[in-house]
Structure 1
Amino acid sequence: MRLLLKRRYTPRQTLGRLYLGSRLLCCIREAPKSCYSPHRHCIDEGVYELEPRHTEDRGWEIRVGENAIIRHIQPDHLPDTAEMGPFTEFNADGKPTFTRLAFQKLLEELGELWERGEVVEMQVVGMGIPYSIEPCQIPNFS
């Protein structure tokens, strides 16, 4: 099974929507793209395998590839490098809402797939950068 994460990049954070087929599962908050913030940045675009993980200190998380995680992130906390935080929507103050609920629903949805023995992958695609910053431009080699 493959999920699709469609992102938009901004200087403060990367925002995306996670889909299973045409159905929206949740929204995702990440750190900015590396050209905006080289010390705290989101994962690269690509395809990653997802697996559940439990630790005593953090509880349940979803491992994304080898180095990233999806986990509950408090609304007032900014995601760190390779950290993805699900949420439902933004409130009037611009803070994400229902972060814990969004993570629990995502974990339940994916848990059913893992219980059936399915391999779950997530494809990450970007919607482009709203304005041009030289380090963010991709060279054209044609």
Structure 2
Amino acid sequence: MRLLLKRRYTPRGSLGRLYLGQKQLCFIREAPKSCYDQAIHCLEEGTYELEAAHSEEEGWFIRVGERGLIKARTGESRPGMNELCPVSSYRADGTPLFTKLAFLKLLDELTPFWERGEILDLQIVSTGIPYQLESCLEQSYS
């Protein structure tokens, strides 16, 4: 089964929508594209295998390939490098709402697939950058 993340880039972060088929599961927020910030950035476009995981320190999270994570973050904290953070909705000022709830709903949607032994993939695609810094001239997929 394949999930699709359609995102757009801004200098302050990458915003997207996560779909399973035609159904939108949640919004996703991430760190900016690497050309905006080399120190902390989002995963590159591509296809990644998803795997549920648990640790005593962090609780439940989802591994995205070898480097990425899907995890809950509060609205005040910014996503870390290669982190995808589910969001249910946004306030008018752009503050994310119900982040923990969005993650739990996402986990509930995906758990039956893992229980049946299915492999879940995440495909990440993006819209082009409307204005480009010199460092952003690398290919963006649309």
Letter in 2 for 1:126: S
Q: When the two structures are aligned, how many residues end up with a matched partner? A: 139
Q: How many Å apart are 1:94 and its aligned residue?
A: 1.5
Q: TM-score, normalised by structure 2?
A: 0.95
Which residue pairs with 2:44 in the alignment? Answer: 44
Which residue pairs with 1:19 in the alignment? Answer: 19
Which residue pairs with 2:93 in the alignment? Answer: 93
State whether residues 35 and 135 of structure 1, in contact with CA within 8 Å, keep that contact through their aligned partners in structure 2: yes
1:1-142 superposed matches below 5 A? 1-138=1-138
Percent identity over the alignment?
56
Q: How many Å apart are 1:9 and its aligned residue?
A: 0.1
User: What is the CA deviation profile of residues 15-73 of structure 1, one whole-angstrom value per residue up to 9, with x for unaligned ones?
Assistant: 00000011000010100000000001000000000000000000000000001100000
Letter in 2 for 1:78: R
Q: Which moved more, 1:129-138 or 1:66-75?
A: 129-138
Cα-Cα RMSD: 0.9
Q: TM-score, normalised by structure 1?
A: 0.95
State whether residues 18 and 27 of structure 1, in contact with CA within 8 Å, keep that contact through their aligned partners in structure 2: yes
Q: How many Å apart are 1:88 and its aligned residue?
A: 1.0
Structure 1 gap segments, 5+ residues each: none
Q: How many Å apart are 1:84 and its aligned residue?
A: 1.0
User: What is the CA deviation profile of residues 61-118 of structure 1, one whole-angstrom value per residue up to 9, with x for unaligned ones?
Assistant: 0000001100000100010101111001111231011101100000011101100110
| Alpha-carbon distance in structure 1 between the residues aligned to 2:87 and 2:132 | 28
Question: Which secondary structure does the structure 2 equivalent of 1:6 belong to?
Answer: strand
Question: Which secondary structure does the structure 1 equivalent of 2:60 belong to?
Answer: strand
| Alpha-carbon distance in structure 2 between the residues aligned to 1:82 and 1:3 | 17
Q: Which moved more, 1:90-99 or 1:39-48?
A: 90-99
| Alpha-carbon distance in structure 2 between the residues aligned to 1:67 and 1:118 | 21
State whether residues 10 and 130 of structure 1, in contact with CA within 8 Å, keep that contact through their aligned partners in structure 2: no
The list of structure 1 runs, each at least 4 consecutive aligned residues, that deviate by more than 4 angstroms after superposition, is none
